[in-house]
Amino acid sequence: MEGQFAAKEHSSHPAIIGGGTDGNEQLTAMTSVILFVLLAVIGLTIVRIGQLTWLHLFLGLLLLGPLGLKMASTGYRFMRYYTGNRAYRDKGPPEIALRLIAPIVVFSTLVVFVSGIILLFHGPRNRAELLTIHKVSFIVWLAFTALHVLGHLPNLGHALRAAEARGDHPGVPPGGAGRWIALAGAIVGGLVVAIVLIPQFGAWTAHGALAHHHGHS
């Protein structure tokens, strides 16, 4: 009787870990939704960068959390597949287009964020070359990251329906609570970084900051 009660009590709590290949796919899809929205907004800031510099900076820092989670989930799938894990081998390799895009996404991500953080702390003065690198890498990163996110859309509907269902629902991989915690943690982490670094925005949001740069580039 006690064993049955313990089992029932245990089953009433959502699983935090687990899920296997389906759970990994679900986490990637959940993160892709967040990234798709943020990428769309950050792309719009480029149109009116003079007025929306603060938003561009804030969203760029906020992206660090979800983007890190997305790279971790997709990187984990690549690692498990190419190290011969049976479940991931049975699942099959990632789509060839995603495999070809992945190195460009990783490299451009490193360049755009490293250059962006350096620019954030050093300001717009005498940074013409670095700003050019940031602009070019940003365009490449935005285009290929958007393609990579769109590449997961075919599985998006199923993954999100599973994410909304209870953990004991047939066909729903365990670990749903853990995936929501990971996603929330990534968003909160990026938000904390963005808020903490708001004081660094001043050099870029000051009147004429970008105009000064263009005049000396």
Sign of the C-alpha dihedral computed for residues 203, 204, 207 and 211 taken in this order: positive
The CA-CA-CA angle for residues 175, 25, 173, to 5°, reads: 35
**pLDDT tens-digit series, residues 37-70:** 998 899 899 888 888 999 999 999 999 999 999 9
| Residue ranges making up the domain that contains 150 | 18-94+146-215
- Is residue 75 included in any domain, yes or no? yes
- Is residue 178 included in any domain, yes or no? yes
- Is residue 81 included in any domain, yes or no? yes
Task: Of 41, 68, 60, 74, give the one whose Cα is nearest residue 155.
Answer: 74
Q: Alpha helix (H) ranges present in 123-175?
A: 128-150, 156-164
Total number of domains constituting the chain = 1
Tokens of 61: 């820092």
- Is residue 40 included in any domain, yes or no? yes
**pLDDT tens-digit series, residues 193-205:** 999 999 999 888 8
- Is residue 54 included in any domain, yes or no? yes
- Is residue 205 included in any domain, yes or no? yes
Residue 93 binned pLDDT confidence (cut-offs 50, 70, 90): confident
How far apart are the C-alpha atoms of 127 and 209, rounded to whole Å? Answer: 12
The pTM is what? Answer: 0.79
- Is residue 63 classed as helix, strand or coil in its secondary structure? coil
- Is residue 174 included in any domain, yes or no? yes
- Is residue 78 included in any domain, yes or no? yes
